[in-house]
Structure 1
């Protein structure tokens, strides 16, 4: 009978370098997202709306895939987490900037949405770092069930993000259509509008909760220094 091999010790296992992290499967998905988003932006300014919508939609759909493979392959990483967040923020920001150009009378609304989106996620990321939690999606949910549902239920997270991005891309797409296709897109726009409103309410709540966490941390440090 063959002797069973003794399990490898920690020192015997291959040690990962920073280059290995760059080659994680979910991070490759992140690179693909960046490429598709870049294609979408180029198509927007080249006034190729059909290609822009397809590229942007694919980039957003891949957003769900990176998290799945990170958990499936045990390849979660801080680099991947930040890469995913930065890609989300930049992709949405670029689209909103373009919408502000298309709909100049309400450009200030898009500026407000960009500001709330970036500030709430940056504040939350920073609050999670000083709190010592392993993921920015971990926070104090006790007073805000809507925030708990958003960050702890992957189905809720996916559909809220999907509906919000759908609202933005449909707002862009309907500008270039006429006749029946435009009316169809407008109907989808109306359907997705409540989800868009919900997502931005969540952003505002997240901004408040993260601000509270940071201020609580400051107060604790100040009290210890007395």
Structure 2
């Protein structure tokens, strides 16, 4: 007697892990025709990436243009989530794209600050490590505990109350992320207001002006697009883009407590995720010994 077929094998229940078990007359054409990559929230995510890359291009010499592009890219972070809820186009790909874009843009800005303000380089490098490590371990733990369909924003009651408020309250989440980025943008603008230019090496190494005479001028297209940071043209451009650092310094002081709170949540997130992974390892080792 042949074995009885399951409901999934007979096509009465869909098995999401095995597309071959779906019956062809049950909207298979509609499901396969959907292009996740062209969902509007994901298109907004691509625009964020383009704006972030443009801001990096202008970052060394054009602080106003860079700050404007970077800020628009960050503000679109809220728009793509709203579009996903409004159009019912929330996807795992969009969530990962959103997180990766956030981490990469913040890391690039902190790398620039580490080079622009060498005195605080180790602090900026530490913030990079904390941001990447806490979010990676938290997302990995969420996938291990909740499975492929889970989200890193699914916080249960067993986790720290700060994390529950941070991930479940959209206003708190947006405000802390925005003020955290605004602090780093303000620090970036302050770096252009220092009397001593921290971004470029000066020509007077030993206290004397050194002029290069008889050198051939490079007029290639590559040099025009990416000017040599040691050249007089690049230094003159940097001087022309100098700005008053009074307002950015005030903004940085106002945003500092919120940035510190965001980093505290990153520390809690790192510790909580590490403990949850450790408990899973203990349970697996216990089951293996029992078997």
User: If the length of structure 2 is used for normalisation, what is the TM-score?
Assistant: 0.71
1:147 corresponds to which of 157, 163, 169 = 163
User: Unaligned 5+ residue runs, structure 2?
Assistant: 1-24, 195-241
- Which residue of the partner structure matches residue 161 of structure 1? 177
- Which residue of the partner structure matches residue 109 of structure 1? 123
Q: Distance in 1 between matches of 2:31 and 2:62?
A: 43
- Aligned residues of 2:159 and 2:272 also touching (Cα < 8 A): no
- Aligned residues of 1:40 and 1:51 also touching (Cα < 8 A): yes
C-alpha distance after superposition, 1:94-133 (max 9, x if no partner): 0000000011011011111000000000001100111125
Give the drift of 1:217.
Answer: 0.9
- Which residue of the partner structure matches residue 195 of structure 1? 258
Helix, strand or coil: the match of 1:127? helix
1:22 corresponds to which of 25, 32, 37 = 37
Helix, strand or coil: the match of 2:48? helix
| Stretch moving more, 210-219 or 52-61 | 210-219
User: Unaligned 5+ residue runs, structure 1?
Assistant: 1-9
Give the drift of 1:174.
Answer: 1.7
- Which residue of the partner structure matches residue 64 of structure 2? 50
Give the drift of 1:11.
Answer: 1.3
Give the drift of 1:19.
Answer: 6.6
- Which residue of the partner structure matches residue 11 of structure 1? 26
Give the drift of 1:143.
Answer: 4.9
| Stretch moving more, 215-224 or 11-20 | 11-20
Q: Does 1:184 align with 2:198?
A: no
- Aligned residues of 2:192 and 2:243 also touching (Cα < 8 A): no
- Which residue of the partner structure matches residue 217 of structure 1? 280
Q: Does 1:65 align with 2:83?
A: no
Give the drift of 1:180.
Answer: 8.7
The structure where helix makes up a greater share of residues is 1
Q: Distance in 1 between matches of 2:163 and 2:33?
A: 33
Give the drift of 1:138.
Answer: 1.3
Distance 1:56 1:92, change over 3 A: same
Give the drift of 1:18.
Answer: 8.4
Give the drift of 1:14.
Answer: 4.3
Helix, strand or coil: the match of 1:208? helix
Q: Distance in 2 between matches of 1:180 and 1:97?
A: 21
Q: Does 1:137 align with 2:137?
A: no
Q: Distance in 2 between matches of 1:169 and 1:51?
A: 12
Give the drift of 1:140.
Answer: 3.7
- Which residue of the partner structure matches residue 10 of structure 2? none
Aligned length: 217
1:173 corresponds to which of 189, 200, 207 = 189
- Which residue of the partner structure matches residue 85 of structure 1? 99
Moved over 6 A (4+): none
- Aligned residues of 1:141 and 1:147 also touching (Cα < 8 A): no
